[in-house]
Chain A
């Protein structure tokens, strides 16, 4: 081993003198070098329990904002790692994008300052203090600084590498997975169970917890169900925190980047019930008020649960229910819901479509039996009845006395679809052809 360190010894040894520490030419002897090296290695610490550095703050958003996704249905998704680039080209295919780099200067600094003030730093996150007047909503929704700080440590260990520091879905691993990890900054989630009344698009905490516990089958989101409840609750709170923070930034940038827009537009579009005088038309008035509005919506969402109707069937009635469900799924019958018009060939030939984040999705292949939002009947009920708003899956509207029966007919059909043996004969012929060919393990999205 070449000993090139410590070329000059402090005291050159006398000729003939042998030293334990220094060798004859005055260099540190190799044995001492190795003892020191091992001693150094022994002091390595374990960084797994640490949180973010105290001096780290959330960066300002610089990636493009997709104001409107294209209506086109392209043939292929972008290659791995190509999402960012495909978003820059969205305007060429009929989409509208906005560039935060063009955000005017004094507003830009003011916005970041307000966000830091209201939301803290990754190491010390908080929501809406000072002056958002959230009162006890913060404790009720578990958005207090203590829970958020615990969530922040867990997030850094488990989620940061895909979902990114600000929850943008562009972490170092996140750039390479498909579908892309959720960008929380729109304030929208796909798999929700809240009622569509009042246009409430918020998730309940339970929806986020379900995703954390079960994962999203068919995507890269793993299941974290073996983690203790307390940690999952803290993570849910932190995700909501990132989402609210991102949404404020996104809302302000999206509104003010449009040509000819003013601060008054922010109030008109997002706080229509608020009485605003001229001197109050500024960001430092808007941001805390809007935080309060969003947190209020999350609070309302907790009680606006879409409750399923009671399951009306006995086991012996299942086959008929599946037949009726199949009719509802198709587009021919007069009362058909037309699901097959998007889930073409029962999902085996679904077209790619843009979602509101500018990435590509397909209506799922229902013959594959892989359900992102969960495979329990109640999960399927929520997907059907609530739709998936950001990906443009419409909510199924069924009214009247028949609603309970029809919705469970549809779900019974969906559940049976992956299993040819379980389908009644004419349904099986329709879904799988007369040969009864088994569905291949198709791409999960």
Chain B
């Protein structure tokens, strides 16, 4: 190969490295990880950084060897190469080093996996000698369908044993909302994920929460939001910006048909329970509307009505 390739690889690698630096230094570009808004997020981000650094070291090493090798020995070099026939030391080395790296990654991942995925299961599948699932401040049934999200909020507090029955039957006081997830900062939320048709995936980037919804299953997930972005102003009857001006997205992360890419929702984290309950009251009044005056819900419920 010509030295052209060495230059090309070096140029591509350097520009990627440059973009990485820019992405990390300028978070407002949105190229790097979104902000971390849940108690779980730093742990998952930690895994991401660990894996990036480990793999990055190997990447730099291998690319460096490749670039230098092509530069020093382009195909115009006279003579033929002399192959070597095995080197036990090298082979052991480059087997054991990645194994060690993988073991480190596994060791770091397992506790995070347990925290993320296994907490909520105790509510539905009691495991002998397991700790009982802690009570949730909020229980929300999320039903995915092509192509929106329907959320059913339990408005009365639920005990862990009663969650399954509530999921199956519902109660008349439940609030049904499309495409909007409202929680408050510090609330322990249990989500029950379902789908009415095909496989979708409930994904909230800022919470680092992602779980496929499978037909026939109700899958529990738990999280606790640690940053708030809106609050509800009862005097205006709408959401206004809170301590943080962000618009947080719920996305579908499993291809589910033509409008999969448009299957979006919004996450609203209220600063405290009071703001959440003010919103809840307002939404329930809309949902119980018996008069013309309250019958026309507009998207003044949204934080910023001019952005989709």
Q: Do A and B come from one complex?
A: yes
Given the complex of chains A and B, what is the CA–CA distance between A267 and B306 in angstroms?
45
Given the complex of chains A and B, what is the CA–CA distance between A241 and B286 in angstroms?
30
Would you call B172 and A222 a contact (CB within 8 A)? no
* A161-B259, A419-B170 as given contacts; A232 in contact with B289, CB under 8 Å: no
Would you call B290 and A377 a contact (CB within 8 A)? yes
Would you call B292 and A305 a contact (CB within 8 A)? yes
B277 within 8 A of A: no
Task: Using A311-B290, A377-B288 as known contacts, list a sample of 7 further A-B pairs with CB atoms less than 8 Å apart, ordered by residue number in A.
Answer: A157-B262, A220-B146, A228-B299, A228-B305, A232-B299, A376-B290, A378-B291
Would you call A225 and B172 a contact (CB within 8 A)? no
A227 within 8 A of B: yes
User: Residues on B close to A: CB < 8 A?
Assistant: 2, 4-5, 8, 76, 145-148, 150, 168-172, 176, 178-180, 257-259, 262-266, 286-292, 294-302, 305-308
Given the complex of chains A and B, what is the CA–CA distance between A222 and B262 in angstroms?
11
28 contacts across the A-B interface (CB closer than 8 A): A18-B76, A31-B5, A157-B262, A209-B296, A210-B296, A215-B178, A222-B147, A224-B148, A226-B179, A226-B180, A226-B265, A226-B302, A226-B308, A228-B305, A228-B307, A229-B300, A305-B292, A308-B290, A308-B291, A376-B287, A376-B288, A376-B290, A376-B295, A378-B291, A378-B292, A419-B169, A438-B168, A438-B169
Give the residues in chain B near A422, CB-CB below 8 Å.
Answer: 172
A415 within 8 A of B: yes
Would you call B148 and A223 a contact (CB within 8 A)? yes
Give the residues in chain A near B308, CB-CB below 8 Å.
Answer: 226-228, 231
Q: Closest B-chain residue to A376, C-beta based?
A: B289
A396 within 8 A of B: no
Give the residues in chain A near B300, CB-CB below 8 Å.
Answer: 229
A20 within 8 A of B: yes
Give the residues in chain A near B306, CB-CB below 8 Å.
Answer: 228, 230
Give the residues in chain B near A377, CB-CB below 8 Å.
Answer: 288-290
* A173-B258, A228-B302 as given contacts; A419 in contact with B287, CB under 8 Å: no
Give the residues in chain B near A158, CB-CB below 8 Å.
Answer: 259, 262
Give the residues in chain B near A161, CB-CB below 8 Å.
Answer: 258-259
Q: Find B296's partner among A206, A311, A416 (CB 8 Å cutoff).
A: A206
Q: Find B298's partner among A172, A215, A229, A376 (CB 8 Å cutoff).
A: A229
Would you call A215 and B292 a contact (CB within 8 A)? no
Q: How far is the CB of A318 from chain B (nearest CB, A)?
A: 10
Q: Closest B-chain residue to A222, C-beta based?
A: B148
Given the complex of chains A and B, what is the CA–CA distance between A378 and B305 in angstroms?
25
Given the complex of chains A and B, what is the CA–CA distance between A210 and B292 in angstroms?
13
* A158-B262, A213-B297, A232-B299 as given contacts; A31 in contact with B291, CB under 8 Å: no
Give the residues in chain A near B286, CB-CB below 8 Å.
Answer: 376
Q: Which 5 A-B pairs have the closest CB atoms?
A: A223-B178, A222-B148, A223-B148, A377-B290, A222-B147
A71 within 8 A of B: no
Q: Closest A-chain residue to B149, C-beta based?
A: A223
Would you call B262 and A31 a contact (CB within 8 A)? no
Given the complex of chains A and B, what is the CA–CA distance between A96 and B287 in angstroms?
42
A369 within 8 A of B: yes
Q: How far is the CB of A6 from chain B (nearest CB, A)?
A: 18
Give the residues in chain A near B297, CB-CB below 8 Å.
Answer: 213, 225
Give the residues in chain A near B172, CB-CB below 8 Å.
Answer: 415-416, 419, 422
* A231-B308, A305-B292 as given contacts; A419 in contact with B262, CB under 8 Å: no
Q: How far is the CB of A302 from chain B (nearest CB, A)?
A: 13
Q: How far is the CB of A183 from chain B (nearest CB, A)?
A: 19
A340 within 8 A of B: no
Would you call A226 and B295 a contact (CB within 8 A)? no
